[in-house]
Amino acid sequence: METRLVAVDPEHPDEQAIAAAAEIIRRGGLVAFPTETVYGLGANALDPAAVRGIFRAKGRPSDNPLIVHLASPADLPAVAVPLPLVDPLARRFWPGPLTLVLPRTAAVPDETTAGLDTVAVRVPDHPVALALIRASGCPIAAPSANRSGRPSPTRAAHVWADLRGRIDMILDGGQSGIGLESTVLDLTQQPPVLLRPGGVTVEELEEVIGPVRIHPAVEGRPAAGPVASPGMKYRHYAPATPCVLVEGEPAAVAAHIATRVRQERAAGRRVGVLASREAAPDYDADVVLVAGSRTDPSELARHLFHGLRQLDEAGLDLLFLEGVEPRGLGLALMNRMRRAAGYRIERAGAGGPHAGGAGTGGDGAP
């Protein structure tokens, strides 16, 4: 299949480009498009064959349900039961990076929800995404537009690298503003359960609806057996290069990584670091990529997936990631970095890094 790459103005998308993309969606095809979180791979959410195409193009396990994107909260009743908490949350956070899990309606096919009796829904905050949904005249199911397991795409070039020849069109609207996927909140439970941290923080949610329970898999390795959100159990966001996340106080993290980099290079390995601007000068690594300031989680979030992809292309043996404080957007950053590292985590601080190379520290390989 030939993939058309079409540039659009992210603020004022060209009507012809949107009309062509919408025509593809209506005919059951696949269009990748920018949102404020990451690029999505869209299909008509109500067309089972079109939705199966998303799973095929991504290589996504068919038991991992998709998020349904709407142009307006007014369109919600067609796909989901609007439970009472939807109203205050939608008023504050939609359009925006908050996905709500709700009881589904009969209009939504099993393919979209992976057979669950709930559906995940959001209204994206991006002129291109909204124009495409409106012009298509249907809700659009869209997971991140990457090959399954890879870091999510924050630029059209990432989508091109992963999905060229597998989808009909990519709308290139520049870089995604947030750079991490939406927050996923399950409203079918009391209190509501945070299934995935993202662009809307727990602190912001609790201002509107009171206490939110954080699912244990958000901060730790998901348990074996049934999971609340199927996406939790898959390897995700991961570069092919082995990756270690170092957690602790910022100065201790920098000192720990600096030592580990020396050890690994002394053992003949080529090492990369995705670094904060503050700590980057401390690292004598083969490649040091600055993701942003450690005082600005939103800058780190914007550059995380691009940084992982760039480091992955540098032909390195091992990558180190700097942990951040898991509060606010930092909770989402840490969730993505823990998963990118396959839960291979080293704690900085007391005693310093273990001697002996890549196999030590942390809780082991996945």
> Considering the rule CB under 6 A, would residue 144 count as an interface residue with ligand AMP?
yes
Task: Pick out residues in 230-259 that bind ligand AMP (CB under 6 A).
Answer: 230-231
Q: Which of Mg ion, ligand AMP, none sits in contact with 119, Cβ below 5 to 8 A by type? A: ligand AMP
- 240 burial (CB, 10 Å; 0-12 / 13-18 / 19+) is exposed
| Nearest approach, Cβ of residue 80 and ligand AMP (Å) | 10
* Beta-ladder partners of 41: 32
Whether residue 297 is preceded by a cis peptide bond, meaning omega within 30 degrees of 0, is no
- x/- map, 61-100, ligand AMP, by CB under 6 A: ---xxxx---------------------------------
> Considering the rule CB under 6 A, would residue 229 count as an interface residue with ligand AMP?
yes
Whether residue 191 is preceded by a cis peptide bond, meaning omega within 30 degrees of 0, is yes
Chain centroid to Cα 168, Å, comes to 22
Chain centroid to Cα 176, Å, comes to 11
The count of chain residues that interact with ligand AMP, using the rule CB under 6 A, is 19
Residue closer to ligand AMP by CB (options 101, 178) is 101
Task: Pick out residues in 125-144 that bind Mg ion (CB under 5 A).
Answer: 143-144
Q: State the Cα–Cα distance between residues 280 and 258, nearest whole angstrom.
A: 9
| Nearest approach, Cβ of residue 244 and Mg ion (Å) | 22
Alpha helices, DSSP H only, in 4-81? 15-26, 48-58
> Running DSSP on this structure, what letter comes out for residue 105?
P
- Only one residue has tokens 């823990």, namely 338
Residue closer to ligand AMP by CB (options 135, 142) is 142
Residue closer to Mg ion by CB (options 155, 256) is 155
AA identity, residue 201? T
Q: Which two tokens stand for residue 349?
A: 């601080």
Task: Pick out residues in 154-183 that bind ligand AMP (CB under 6 A).
Answer: 181
> Considering the rule CB under 6 A, would residue 120 count as an interface residue with ligand AMP?
yes
Comparing every residue's Cβ against ligand AMP, the nearest one is: 231
Comparing every residue's Cβ against Mg ion, the nearest one is: 144
Q: State the Cα–Cα distance between residues 161 and 225, nearest whole angstrom.
A: 34
Q: State the Cα–Cα distance between residues 114 and 60, nearest whole angstrom.
A: 11
DSSP 3-state of 321: strand
Residue closer to Mg ion by CB (options 231, 272) is 231
> Considering the rule CB under 6 A, would residue 335 count as an interface residue with ligand AMP?
no
Radius of gyration of the chain (CA): 20
| Nearest approach, Cβ of residue 106 and Mg ion (Å) | 26
Residue closer to ligand AMP by CB (options 146, 276) is 146
Give the residues lining the site for Mg ion (CB under 5 A): 143-144
Give the residues lining the site for ligand AMP (CB under 6 A): 64-67, 101, 113, 116, 118-120, 143-144, 181, 184, 195-196, 229-231
